[in-house]
């Protein structure tokens, strides 16, 4: 409803936006991705004079360790407040760099799943027009996690899938494995192979 939006945790993990709003007068928790790149400031260590503040760019539509943790925390808070939840799912996936692995991205992604498994109110996952839900992002918001309360909706102009088309095409067999598989599952190929 107009004028009901209140953002929470807004100065932290800026690649995810969380807040509360009303939809038709009903209070809701809301989670959506930031689609633009944002600047992340890593402060200097006050105990080490050799360190400096570092500014890094974080791509939009990607869960980083901090934004995955923020998402999980918001889910936990909204569940405790007994709010229905709407997730505007427009993520390309999780960050996968070494630094993010050390930053425990997998742990915080699992926290999202844990929060959704425990959720007691309705959860609506919506892929908006021209939005995309890919990779691990699809896995953590899949309604099969908690089918009693979760539902997914997608605009006809949205896209989704665990693998990107290029990744699907690039899945390759080694030649010898490909031939063995063809022999095993294609009787016509096997027959032709035996004739030669």
- CA-nearest of 140, 138, 131 to 167 is 138
Question: Which of 59-73, 83-97, 118-132, 151-165 reaches the highest mean pLDDT?
Answer: 118-132
Residue 82 has pLDDT above 60, yes or no: yes
Task: Please tell me the predicted confidence (pLDDT) of residue 175.
Answer: 75
- Tokens describing residue 72: 């999980």
Q: How far apart are CA 68 and CA 182, in angstroms?
A: 42
pTM score? 0.77
The SS3 call for residue 2 is coil
Task: Please tell me the predicted confidence (pLDDT) of residue 166.
Answer: 61
The SS3 call for residue 96 is coil
């Amino acid at each position: 409803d107009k004028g009901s939006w209140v953002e929470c945790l807004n100065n932290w993990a800026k690649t995810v936006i969380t807040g509360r709003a009303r939809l038709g007068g009903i209070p809701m928790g809301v989670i959506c991705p930031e689609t633009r790149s944002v600047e992340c400031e890593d402060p200097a260590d006050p105990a080490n004079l050799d360190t400096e503040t570092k500014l890094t760019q974080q791509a939009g539509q990607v869960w980083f360790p901090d934004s995955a943790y923020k998402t999980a925390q918001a889910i936990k808070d909204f569940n405790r407040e007994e709010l229905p939840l709407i997730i505007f799912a427009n993520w390309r996936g999780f960050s996968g760099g070494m630094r993010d692995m050390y930053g425990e991205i997998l742990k915080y992604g699992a926290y999202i799943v844990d929060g959704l498994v425990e959720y007691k109110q309705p959860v609506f996952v919506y892929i908006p027009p021209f939005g995309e839900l890919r990779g691990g992002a699809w896995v953590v918001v899949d309604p099969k996690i908690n089918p009693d309360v979760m539902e997914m909706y997608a605009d006809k102009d949205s896209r989704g899938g665990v693998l990107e088309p290029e990744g699907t095409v690039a899945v390759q067999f080694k030649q010898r494995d490909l031939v063995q598989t063809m022999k095993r599952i294609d009787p016509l190929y096997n027959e032709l192979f035996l004739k030669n």
